[in-house]
């Protein structure tokens, strides 16, 4: 099954966090499963927080941001009865705002599980609820307002 | 003049975004100047957004996050009449929440100017207003709630 990001048009595939065309990047892969999107990612030891046991905040924000815009695109395709990768114009979203609650330290060296659910979709605006967990415990929550780019 | 991060205690200096002890990191340096903190940083070409002309959102979040917690520490030292690096217990903050408004695309290859101002300081809680500009134009705004770690 191809990831949402693997359907991004080549001109839009350069993101450090999730772009398949970025040779240096993190290559986050997000998938739409039933009513939720999900991604799994294990940050390597470079991405330490202030103390080496924890993931740094910027990584958490990056994962939520990239997963959020991918989620918005996937939910918009579904709402319009379309399939990602079909012959229609690509649907792409960018972040207008992102709010993150850091609930507890995120352990480094663990697989992180990121989910997205659709709160609302209104014209070109999508609101996405995000969650990041490790070892089954939620470490961060996010809420994103994403805006669809005009094709 | 030493940066705020250069006063972090060695056990707390490992952050990928701003820790002096992280050999792989970005080494963001923040300074307190009069009533504002500031930092300057030029992301390299790896940190592209979806299109290669722009900085990826996770980098913007990282810069605001690291600058915000540094700002909170600096403002708290000042409020208590202390100097960073003095012989007292280190004052360290972590992010409780971060809200970012992405106002316009942030150009890649330009020096970014990040500022922080103190909105409120109440016990262990600091609220910091953040701004990120390129070529004199504000590209992102942030607001952080930071919480002081118990020493």
Q: Is B52 exposed, middle or buried (0-12, 13-18, 19+ CB in 10 A)?
A: middle
* pLDDT tens column, A17-43: 999 999 999 999 999 999 999 999 999
User: Among A60, A74, A63, which residue's Cα sits nearest to residue A118?
Assistant: A74
* Average pLDDT of every residue of chain A: 97
**What local confidence, expressed as pLDDT, does residue B151 receive?**
76
**What local confidence, expressed as pLDDT, does residue B139 receive?**
98
* Average pLDDT of every residue of chain B: 97
* pLDDT tens column, B47-64: 999 999 999 999 999 999
| B147: helix, strand or coil | strand
**What local confidence, expressed as pLDDT, does residue A151 receive?**
76
CB contact under 8 A, A8 and B50: yes
Domain count, chain A: 1
Residue B127 has pLDDT above 80, yes or no: yes
Instruction: Report the pLDDT averaged over residues A9-13.
Output: 94
Residue A101 has pLDDT above 80, yes or no: yes
Residue B75's φ and ψ, nearest 5 degrees, are: -65, -35
- Contact yes or no for B108/B53 (Cβ under 8 A): yes
Residue B17 has pLDDT above 80, yes or no: yes
A141–chain B Cβ distance below 8 A for any pair? no
Instruction: Report the pLDDT averaged over residues A81-96.
Output: 96
Range 93-132 of B in CB contact (< 8 A) with A:
94-102
CB under 8 Å to A24, separation ≥6 — which residues?
A: A16, B46
CATH number at residue A46: 3.10.129.10
Helices B57-79, A57-79: inter-axial angle, 10-degree rounding:
140
Chain A residue with the nearest C-alpha to that of B95 = A102
CB contact under 8 A, A98 and B61: yes
Residue B104 CA to residue A56 CA, distance in Å, equals 25
CB contact under 8 A, A51 and B96: no
Instruction: Report the pLDDT averaged over residues A108-117.
Output: 98
Instruction: Report the pLDDT averaged over residues B106-120.
Output: 98
**What local confidence, expressed as pLDDT, does residue A87 receive?**
94
Instruction: Report the pLDDT averaged over residues A98-116.
Output: 98
| B125: helix, strand or coil | strand
Q: Which of A21, A39, A50 to mutate to test the interface with B (most CBs of B within 10 A)?
A: A50
Residues of A within 8 A of B66 (CB-CB) are 56-58
**What local confidence, expressed as pLDDT, does residue B12 receive?**
93
Instruction: Report the pLDDT averaged over residues B122-140.
Output: 98
CB contact under 8 A, A49 and B14: yes
Alpha-carbon distance values, B140 to A32, A142, B99, B129, B134 (Å)? 29, 18, 10, 11, 10
Q: Please tell me the distance in Å from A101's CA to the nearest CA on chain B.
A: 4
Q: Please tell me the distance in Å from A96's CA to the nearest CA on chain B.
A: 5
Per-residue pLDDT band for B83 (boundaries 50, 70, 90) equals very high
Q: Please tell me the distance in Å from B62's CA to the nearest CA on chain A.
A: 4
Q: Which residues of A4-136 form beta strands (DSSP E)? A: 30-33, 36-41, 93-102, 112-122, 125-134
Instruction: Report the pLDDT averaged over residues A69-77.
Output: 98
Residue B76 has pLDDT above 90, yes or no: yes
Q: In terms of residue numbers, what domain contains B87? A: 4-148
- Contact yes or no for A16/B62 (Cβ under 8 A): no
**What local confidence, expressed as pLDDT, does residue B137 receive?**
98
CB contact under 8 A, B97 and A95: no
User: Among B78, B82, B87, B135, which residue's Cα sits nearest to residue B108?
Assistant: B135
């Amino acid at each position: 099954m191809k990831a949402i990001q693997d359907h991004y048009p080549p001109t839009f595939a350069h993101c450090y966090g999730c772009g398949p065309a970025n040779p240096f990047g993190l290559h986050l892969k997000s998938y739409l499963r039933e009513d939720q999107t999900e991604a799994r990612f294990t940050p390597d030891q470079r991405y330490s927080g202030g103390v080496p046991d924890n993931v740094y905040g910027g990584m958490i924000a990056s994962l939520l941001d990239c997963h959020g815009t991918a989620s918005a695109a996937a939910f918009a395709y579904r709402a319009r009865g379309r399939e990602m990768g079909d012959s229609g114009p690509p649907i792409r979203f960018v972040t207008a705002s992102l709010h993150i609650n850091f609930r507890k330290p995120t352990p480094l060296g663990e697989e992180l599980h990121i989910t997205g659910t659709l709160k609302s979709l209104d014209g070109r605006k999508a609101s996405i609820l995000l969650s990041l967990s490790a070892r089954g415990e939620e470490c961060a929550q996010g809420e994103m307002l994403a805006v669809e780019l005009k094709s």
